[in-house]
Structure 1
């Protein structure tokens, strides 16, 4: 994919919404150009908020990781798919609603914090995130519950996740299998849907026309940004770009966040 980063075409940047894995770091390794760019934005008073499809870490976990890379952030700077999923369930269901959870402890904690009951007995909702301890039995329980009427919700549709040495299957790979078996279309919480983007905009208090959406995946990050009306920037430090004519293309394609004029 050809890089597009002509300085004269960039909007005035007054706020930034950004993905994390593949943009700020890969696995446990920081992407130094990105870290330095966010440090520049912090010094310049440009607010930013991170939106992550990864439900395996809480906002506190993300803050600790970013602080370790030298970024001065708080939990107000982080919107996770786990917390957003719990909020969306509560918008439609009362406290005590039965929810079957496939995912990490952070997703289970978000569901519990929202006063929802985690159970595999007659759940009204099945919520699926990345589960590195997935088993056939978990998939069976999920499919059976959905066929009995439970709503299927996924924290995100990511098929691939970048790692320091390559890639691994994402939550979307497992979600796709369950949806196919139960023959239903899941409700997606994270990107490419705009739920987290809208939450981040509320926290930033910036106008859409002057806020960037930065990500490394066209099917998720870029589509979410475009749907929310933001200038969307693809950085090629994460998952290899997907050329799909059915998807909206990014406004800019860069290889380093330092190519964004406001970061200089």
Structure 2
């Protein structure tokens, strides 16, 4: 089926930051939008490049604004990274982590040993406590031959304080120092979209990605064969949209406008 109308969409891959909230601040129409999806029985996965927070945090954050969802509907880049590690580094057991505490917890639960030297892989996510020493150790291990893996390549992300550096900024520093390009798991790579689509059991051509970033949510969705919906509540400005070669199938001011168009379409 060629999707030309919103009402033809059978499933959604939904971004979080810049779509559902901005930092700690919820965005307009979140609870009502999920009520709409539940009423229409439209399956969805919230796929976020945020590697620092557990899936339960997304559930709790949505519950505070009246949106009730199950943890199984959340896919984080840390979770996706663990799912992909056996394929990317099949013999890896020892990993050096540049990232938040949660990323280390997820890897430990999956049976990996967190180390500071002699690592089989270097896993990089957002790190609120990044130091030069961490960058130095990671560079040493990558140059020694450890597999270099990034949970996501977001250079920035929206917060209540404005646009701030993301995991991609850390990856860029390590790539420059190690002269090695990372394997990236999160959006815009199609890995997370493929995992989400498989979880929902809906064909990619009947699925749309819903996000705020052209270069991750929209471009990544297109790579995975999905249609795309952009909301203007995150990092994309009208000027950026007009100048970009990456163009979504639909554009809306926010979730309120999207729901209204979908209901009336």
TM-score (norm 2): 0.91
Residue 262 (structure 2) aligns with: 262
- 1:213–1:263 distance in 2 versus 1, CA, 3 Å: farther
Residue 148 of structure 2: aligned partner: 152
Distance (whole Å) between structure 2 residues aligned to residue 48 and residue 246 of structure 1: 27
Q: Tell me the distance in 2 between the aligned counterparts of 1:247 and 1:153.
A: 28
- 2:88 & 2:122 partners in 1: Cα distance? 14
CA separation of 1:238 and 1:246: change in aligned 2, threshold 3 A: closer
Deviates more, 1:176-185 or 1:8-17: 8-17
Measured after TM superposition, the shift of residue 243 of structure 1 is: 5.2
Displacement of 1:143 = 0.5
- Of the structure 1 ranges 247-256 and 134-143, higher mean CA displacement relative to structure 2 is found in 247-256
Give the aligned partner of residue 56 of structure 2: 60
Structure 2 unaligned residues grouped into runs of 5+: none
* 2:186 matches 1:190: yes
Alignment of 1:118 onto 2:114: yes
Indicate if the aligned counterparts of 1:17 and 1:48 stay in contact, CA closer than 8 A: yes
Contact kept? 1:194, 1:228, Cα under 8 Å = yes
| 1:91 Cα offset (Å) | 2.4
How many aligned residue pairs are there?
257
Note if 1:201 corresponds to 2:201.
no
> 2:26 corresponds to which residue?
30
Find out whether 1:250 has 2:248 as its counterpart. Answer: yes
1:225 paired residue number: 221
Cα distance in 1, alignment partners of residues 157 and 204 from structure 2: 28
Q: Partners of 1:214 and 1:230 in 2: how far apart?
A: 10
Deviation at 1:240, TM superposition (A): 2.7
CA distance in structure 2 between the partners assigned to 1:195 and 1:232 by the alignment: 16
Measured on the aligned residues, the alpha-carbon RMSD in Å equals 1.9
Equivalents in 2 of 1:18, 1:171: separation in Å?
Answer: 20
Question: Structure 1 stretches (4+) deviating beyond 3 angstroms?
Answer: 8-11, 92-96, 241-248, 258-261
Query: What SS does the corresponding residue of 1:32 show, helix, strand or coil?
Result: coil
- 1:194-224 CA-partner distances (Å, limit 9, x unpaired): 1111111122122222211011111111111
Q: Give the 5 Å matches for 1:69-84.
A: 69-84=65-80
Question: Is the 2:214–2:236 contact (alpha carbons within 8 Å) kept by the matching residues of 1?
Answer: no
Distance 1:213 1:128, change over 3 A: same
Gaps of 5+ in 1: 1-7
Q: In the aligned structure 1, how far is the partner of 2:99 from the partner of 2:226?
A: 30
User: Which of 229, 232, 236 pairs up with 2:232?
Assistant: 236
Query: Compared with structure 1, are the counterparts of its residues 155 and 234 closer, same or farther at alpha carbon in structure 2 (3 Å cutoff)?
Result: same
